[in-house]
Structure 1
Amino acid sequence: MKKLLIIACISGSLTGFSQDPEKKGICSASIQLFHANGTDWTASDHFRLDGFNVNNPLSYGAFHIDMDVTVDSLTYEITLPFGDSLQYTAYWHADGMCVNVDTSEVNHLITVLEGDLFPITYEGYYSPLYYDLSQEAYIVSPCLFKIQKGTLKPYFIRVNFQDPPQPETPLTIPEVTNDISIWLSNENTLTVKADQHVIWEINFYSLSGQVIQKSQMEGSQDVDISNLSKGCYIARISSENGLRKQLKFIR
């Protein structure tokens, strides 16, 4: 049922119209922000602007208007879970005599005002009578950006993310008896406790299994992880005498 609802939402978002029967032109255009957060009975987070004039805003789910911001246009705000993303898509389609589209204009719809830039993928083809243009991006960090076509009315979007879960602080330091212990001491440090002169190797993996970093150390050590990007990782330790330990942590 959820898939049917999503298909219905996407189908309903198409703003299409035909010119007179002699011209036989079929046109459609839409800009959307989407975060899958719904169930079979509730809608996901969605913001949409329909048509070639980039107007008729529609929002539901976690999107809401920020009443504390005073600008010439409304600011829509959404807060996403830590580690999640917001999808941006846009398209312009014509089959026959349709509205002319200025590609230099539609390729500069997004202006990031605060936070990190997010890369946008541009695809499709264009001619005055037949074109099929699309854009896609994923927003993964906090930012404030503007959607505006030419001199038309701008729309402001603020994307927030929840704070990462705080690591639990161990109540006591583990006892070491011919063993290796590992825990997250703070946001930037993993602490490894081992017998003196025990040589061990630590490997960091992404959740997909990709090796991110390798190090070899001896005895008890604090491992600096401040160079890792924010995210979830797995640390695996192996020693020369066959000891093995693994820790899943969030940086």
Structure 2
Amino acid sequence: MKRLLLTAFIITSLAGFSQEKKGICSASVQLFHDNGEVNSSNDHFYLEGFSFNNPLYYGNFQVDSTALSDSLIYEITLPFGDSLLYSAGWIADGMCFGVDTAVVNHLVTVLEGIPFPIAYAGYYSPGYFNLSQTGVITSECFFRIRKDHTYFIRVKFQDPPIPETPLDLPEITNEISMWLSGENTLSVKTDQDAVWDLNLYSLSGQMLQKKTMEGSQDLDISNLPKGCYIARVSGENGLEKQLRFIK
């Protein structure tokens, strides 16, 4: 029993020593977009490992071939005004793969469009480093990720929404204007949809005409004999106008 426990202890110690000797090693590059869809994966492009091979992608990333041999374009179209998050990181604590900081800092090259700013952080020494990059892509661009392998990413955005054209509604003034615009024309100006009544009286108060009209109108009064008259207009909103005129 003691021999069995001793053997187990030795194996555990060797495993622990091996882990400690190897250290913590990781590297990755990610492009992420929260598409807001509850029942499907977010838009995600992912490279893992120090050699950046075997890419994984989900969501709205599409793949198309390029004019270059053995190369692919990973394309995504985002809603207008949205953004794509870029992040990359390299961590080593012990015996890990080495990285060249010059290569790391030139990992991304924008080939078309507006370059997006990348923030760099972390520390570096041979065998011990923790480096990170972050950026936000808000404009259309075409860029390259290149280390041991090369990947092309095209980011597009949908067209902005067309603003709704406001209805050409008439201005509501709630006013009535009336004047003698010609020798035989009595003009009334009001809102387009306003309904109003016209009462035409002789100077003695006798009603000569009564009409219900809508909107602005020009009334022909050529059939009236010469004399003095009173025109009274009243609208549905209670407004009234009165005009005394001579024909």
Classify 1:169/1:38 alpha carbon distance in 2 versus 1 (closer, same or farther; 3 Å). Answer: closer
Report the CA distance between 1:26 and its aligned residue.
1.6
- In structure 2, the residue matched to 1:71 is 68
Report the CA distance between 1:21 and its aligned residue.
4.2
Deviations 1:79-121, CA, capped at 9 Å, x for gaps: 0000000000000001111111111110101110111010000
TM-score, normalized by length of structure 2? 0.59
Q: Which residue, out of 134, 153, 158, partners 1:157?
A: 153
Gaps of 5+ in 1: 1-17, 178-251
- In structure 1, the residue matched to 2:134 is 136
Structure number with larger C-alpha Rg: 2
Post-superposition, which runs of at least 4 consecutive aligned residues in structure 1 deviate over 3 A? 18-22, 38-41
Gaps of 5+ in 2: 1-15, 174-247
Q: Is the 8 A contact 1:19 1:98 kept in 2?
A: no
1: CA distance between counterparts of 2:58 and 2:116? 23
Deviations 1:167-221, CA, capped at 9 Å, x for gaps: 12234266385xxxxxxxxxxxxxxxxxxxxxxxxxxxxxxxxxxxxxxxxxxxx
Report the CA distance between 1:51 and its aligned residue.
0.7
Report the CA distance between 1:25 and its aligned residue.
1.7
- In structure 1, the residue matched to 2:87 is 89
Higher helix residue share: 2
Q: Is the 8 A contact 2:51 2:149 kept in 1?
A: no
2: CA distance between counterparts of 1:38 and 1:167? 23
- In structure 2, the residue matched to 1:124 is 122
Give 3-state SS (helix, strand or coil) of 1:97's partner: coil
- In structure 1, the residue matched to 2:34 is 36
1: CA distance between counterparts of 2:17 and 2:170? 75
2: CA distance between counterparts of 1:107 and 1:42? 34
User: Matches of residues 1-251 of structure 1 in structure 2 within 5 Å?
Assistant: 20-21=18-19, 23-67=21-65, 69-72=66-69, 73-149=71-147, 152-172=148-168, 175=171
Deviations 1:140-187, CA, capped at 9 Å, x for gaps: 0111000002xx32100000000010012234266385xxxxxxxxxx
Classify 1:40/1:105 alpha carbon distance in 2 versus 1 (closer, same or farther; 3 Å). Answer: same
Give 3-state SS (helix, strand or coil) of 1:23's partner: helix
TM-score, normalized by length of structure 1? 0.58
**Between 167-176 and 82-91, the greater mean CA deviation after superposition:** 167-176
- In structure 2, the residue matched to 1:194 is none
Report the CA distance between 1:20 and its aligned residue.
4.3
AA in 2 matched with 1:165: P
2: CA distance between counterparts of 1:85 and 1:157? 14
Q: Is the 8 A contact 1:19 1:97 kept in 2?
A: no
Give 3-state SS (helix, strand or coil) of 2:29's partner: strand
How many percent of aligned residue pairs carry the same amino acid? Answer: 63
Deviations 1:55-94, CA, capped at 9 Å, x for gaps: 1111110001024x32231100000000000000000001
Give 3-state SS (helix, strand or coil) of 2:96's partner: coil
2: CA distance between counterparts of 1:171 and 1:54? 56
2: CA distance between counterparts of 1:77 and 1:48? 13
CA RMSD of aligned residues (A): 2.2
Classify 1:87/1:22 alpha carbon distance in 2 versus 1 (closer, same or farther; 3 Å). Answer: closer
